[in-house]
Structure 1
Amino acid sequence: MLMLGVGDKEFVAEVPRPFKPEQVLFVGLNDMIEALNSKPLQDMNMDIATPDDIKEDSSKVLRWLDSRKPSKIIVHFDLDVLDLREFRSLLVANPATYEKMKEQVPTGSSMETIIRLLQDVAKAYDVVGLGITEHFPWDAYNLQNMLQRLPLLGDINKKDKAPYNWIF
């Protein structure tokens, strides 16, 4: 949201040319659609392509792009658009609450759907940026905590897990 000029004033000040809402299409949102209807985003009237909109083909996204005729495309790929039943390296897929979250979080997009969509966009437009965010590898985090408490590798007297930082 920082790239739209929304958020912490200190961070927003670092964005020299914020995007206009009409330059942004949210694709694949599954559990964040309600957030787009909250202040200040509701006044922006953001365009959305849901997981169902892109499941069979990329036409909705390509039509949206065709209507704007951008010279360059920047993709901000939040991994949390992926279905957590297929991709579990997401904060919401915490092993301690995973079964409960599978029932609560709407179905996201498959990896194959996102691959096809991004390939289709790249075939039609000049993709000049691809950022990938929202990765939280629970297995690596849990392995790190285990290794830090094993003989020869860590502190055998250590009882606590390493904290992780997450900003909401």
Structure 2
Amino acid sequence: MGACSVSVVPFSYLANKYKDDVAIVWIDAHKDLNLQGDKYQGYHAMALAATFGLIDKEGIARILPAHFSPKDSIIVGVRDFEGKKERCEEIGVKVLSPEEARDSTKLLEWLKSRGKSKVVVHFDLDVLDPSELVMAVGVVENGLKIAEVVNLINAINTNYDLVGLTIAEHMPRVAIKLRNMMRELPLSKI
């Protein structure tokens, strides 16, 4: 667990290990395809671009063992394109909206079209609808339900060799607020 960048190094290792037989499923409310020179420079917003070797070409991109091809990558549940919706099309990354991802049909069709036997999954908790659970750093309305994401990942696992799964952006806001509130109460006297 960690920021979205938690996926970059292990996914690069798996891309190298399985060469041309692995696809990447990026389940996230954001596209994470920002590039150097974009208005927002946070590395977590560049994580998927980093798996393609598109950023920091003199740094981490140069030392990673392998990169994914954008054509073997899909972003599922994206609804905040950070001002660059066209970036996905320019780079060649397939996108499924939350509505298209409510069941696994379109995702499994796309995976079948790629002809890979192995899949890595990046699961950013901000893809979840905040009306059901708020655990992530970014909160974006109208996301996927917990059961829908679980079903997607289980469908991948049932039909493919799931060789990598990362969970990103865990931020227990409610627990932190509760802890801070409890610190202010005179509980030690009771």
The question of a shared fold, defined as TM-score above 0.5 by the shorter chain, is answered with yes
| 1:37 corresponds to 2:86 | yes
**Structure 2 contact 121–164 (Cα < 8 Å) conserved:** yes
What is the CA deviation profile of residues 116-139 of structure 1, one whole-angstrom value per residue up to 9, with x for unaligned ones?
111111111000110000111112
| 1:86 corresponds to 2:135 | no
Structure 2 residues without counterparts, runs of 5 or longer = 1-47
Counterparts in 2 of 1:123 and 1:33: CA distance versus 1, 3 Å = farther
CA distance in 2, matches of 1:148, 1:107: 34
Picking from 68, 75, 85, the partner of 1:26 is 75
**Structure 1 contact 79–132 (Cα < 8 Å) conserved:** yes
Count of matched residue pairs: 139
TM-score, normalisation: structure 2 = 0.63
What is the CA deviation profile of residues 37-81 of structure 1, one whole-angstrom value per residue up to 9, with x for unaligned ones?
24xx552121011100021x2110001011112121100111111
**Structure 1 contact 78–133 (Cα < 8 Å) conserved:** yes
Counterparts in 2 of 1:150 and 1:5: CA distance versus 1, 3 Å = farther
Structure of higher RCO (CA pairs closer than 8 Å, 6+ residues apart): 2
What are the within-5 Å matches in structure 2 for residues 5-20 of structure 1? 5-9=53-57, 10-20=59-69
Shift of 1:12: 2.3
Structure 1 residues without counterparts, runs of 5 or longer = 94-104, 154-168
SS at match of 1:26: strand
What are the within-5 Å matches in structure 2 for residues 11-160 of structure 1? 11-32=60-81, 34-38=83-87, 42-55=89-102, 57-93=103-139, 105-145=140-180
Larger Rg: 1
Matching residue's letter, 1:61? L
CA distance in 2, matches of 1:14, 1:141: 37
CA distance in 1, matches of 2:123, 2:144: 12
CA distance in 2, matches of 1:128, 1:24: 15
**Structure 1 contact 86–110 (Cα < 8 Å) conserved:** yes
Counterparts in 2 of 1:33 and 1:115: CA distance versus 1, 3 Å = farther
TM-score, normalisation: structure 1 = 0.71
Shift of 1:140: 2.9
**Structure 2 contact 108–156 (Cα < 8 Å) conserved:** yes
State, as a whole percentage, how many aligned pairs show the same letter. Answer: 35
CA distance in 2, matches of 1:14, 1:90: 29
**Structure 2 contact 124–168 (Cα < 8 Å) conserved:** yes
What is the CA deviation profile of residues 79-113 of structure 1, one whole-angstrom value per residue up to 9, with x for unaligned ones?
111111111112235xxxxxxxxxxx440000011
**Structure 2 contact 130–141 (Cα < 8 Å) conserved:** no
